[in-house]
Structure 1
């Protein structure tokens, strides 16, 4: 397995553009981060940075070739992943020990293209029931423009 991966890596690097090398570095850095801190691979690969203030949780990622679609802007799936991640994290943080929440519905309204240096996701809990939660999220560009607005429903379960 390691020999196959080593050969593939060498072949990719042999024909790589600068953009390819940047993406490869980001992927490998994400893998290393996962190995070091045990967090999810997704967070490492997209270089997710978290900021937790008193009542606010934010998630920021750099816009890189790895986040682009074929039009050279952030892929909608990356934007959806950001709002699902911020909203799910908020939902789970609001629960007592021994409980978890999973997404049951996600609505994303794309409002503007994802361009610039980075994207930031923010969210807030709209409804916290005993079996479900509704959370609202938004993603902003570096210039402050909201590029997506989202709502999500989360099912609460005992672990």
Structure 2
């Protein structure tokens, strides 16, 4: 493992996740995600936990980026597969969210991930793009692709999401 960080402590904070639910009731998924991408709505706690950064949104597709850090590492000195799966799940599910009307939510029903290469801090900025493949009335299918700083494919996934009406606040 290459030592790239001299101070090995980490502190982070997050906003009340209920703010997101209240905002979803009055905005389409695309409006909500664009507000998050512009900074008008704070990112959800999970994005702050993994130290995700840029979010790009268009209808049916969402891209999130993250710079690998040592605190993402597993015991063998590579980024933990759970972190990579989180990026894939986020991009795929948010791509579904970008197609939803106001008052409709989603949750991942499954996530099928294939890891192709290890990731370290030397991999450079990771870019994960999710795309909706099909959306019905109650379910949606999406895929996500994760690439490294040289645009090599690191992992890919498919996800099925369940769509449901959000409770009124």
Q: Above 0.5 in TM-score?
A: yes
Q: TM-score, normalised by structure 1?
A: 0.76
Q: TM-score, normalised by structure 2?
A: 0.72
Offset, 1:66? 1.2
> 1:124 and 1:90 mapped to 2: Cα distance?
6
After superposition, give the CA deviation of every residue in 1:77-101 in whole Å (9 maximum; x if it has no partner).
Answer: 0010001111111111211111111
**Matching residue of 1:42:** 46
Structure 1: segments with no counterpart, 5+ residues = 1-16
Structure 2: segments with no counterpart, 5+ residues = 17-38
Higher relative contact order (CA 8 A, sep 6+): 2
What is the 5 A alignment of 1:6-25?
A: 19=5, 21-24=7-10
> 2:15 and 2:4 mapped to 1: Cα distance?
24
- Aligned pair in 2 of structure 1 residues 44, 120: CA closer, same or farther (>3 Å)? same
What SS does the corresponding residue of 1:21 show, helix, strand or coil? coil
Task: Confirm whether residue 125 of structure 1 aligns to residue 129 of structure 2.
Answer: no
Q: CA RMSD in A?
A: 2.5
Q: Structure 1 segments of 4 or more deviating over 6 A?
A: none
Larger Rg: 1
